[in-house]
Amino acid sequence: MSQPIAPNNNEIVLKNGDLIVSKTCLKGNITYANRHFMSIAGFTEQQLLQQPHSIIRHPDMPKGVYRMMWQSLRSGSEFFGFVKNLCSDGSFYWVFANVTPDLDEKGEVRGYYSVRRKPSREAIEAVIPLYKKMCEIEVAGRGSPVIDESMKFLTDWVDSTGLNYSQVALHLYRHGSL
């Protein structure tokens, strides 16, 4: 994409049963996008394919969440999380994402699958203050150390629940609160 997308306050709310599916290479470039993804995000297949998945990254999303996701994926684990994505027109939409490594026949990671669905409003409201604080941490400094500090804020919060990160994410998705 040539110009950065200017976010606006128009929220697109997914319907129950909507599934947004994408696949990426090891570097996170999109190699597949289903029609729901294209329709909701407002991009054509040509605009998405071979682009970094970050093309839909909303500026309200803390980088610490993505660092945690990549750490999980590189360790061979799947990742669950709530993500605020950006549409081509500046609108946004929230999803509950499940990202998993895509393995070849030898068990080697060759990319990643992501399936996203509609989260509850309660779950979104639960993560907004966490993400806001993480973004505040990130804008207070520069580079990798503040992203690590942001991720630590999230992991400390998760640890305070007595659950692991995936358990917290799944509980929020199913129940809307802890």
DSSP letters along 79-115, please? EEEEEEEE-TTS-EEEEEEEEEEEE-TTS-EEEEEEE
Residue 143 confidence (pLDDT) above 60? yes
Region 142-164: mean pLDDT is 95
8, part of any domain = no
What are 49-85's pLDDT values in tens digits? Answer: 999 999 999 999 999 999 999 999 999 899 999 999 9
DSSP code, position 60: T
Give the integer Cα–Cα distance in Å for 150 and 62: 8
What burial letters (b/e) apply to 64-100, b meaning 16+ CB within 10 Å? bbbbbbeebbeeeeebbbbbbbbbbeebbbbbbbbbb
Contact partners, residue 119, CB within 8 Å, separation at least 6? 82, 94, 95, 96, 172, 173
111, part of any domain = yes
Find the CATH number of the domain harbouring 104: 3.30.450.20
15, part of any domain = no
Give the integer Cα–Cα distance in Å for 49 and 102: 17
Q: Encoding tokens for residue 50?
A: 């071979």
6, part of any domain = no
- What pLDDT does 4 receive? 80
CA distance to 22, 37, 99, per residue, from 90 (Å):
20, 15, 24
Q: Encoding tokens for residue 118?
A: 């509609």
Range(s) of the domain holding residue 154: 20-175
58, part of any domain = yes
163, part of any domain = yes
Predicted structure pTM score: 0.93
Residue 2 confidence (pLDDT) above 60? no
Of 149, 148, 170, 167, nearest in space to 158 by CA = 167
How many independent structural domains does the chain possess?
Answer: 1
11, part of any domain = no
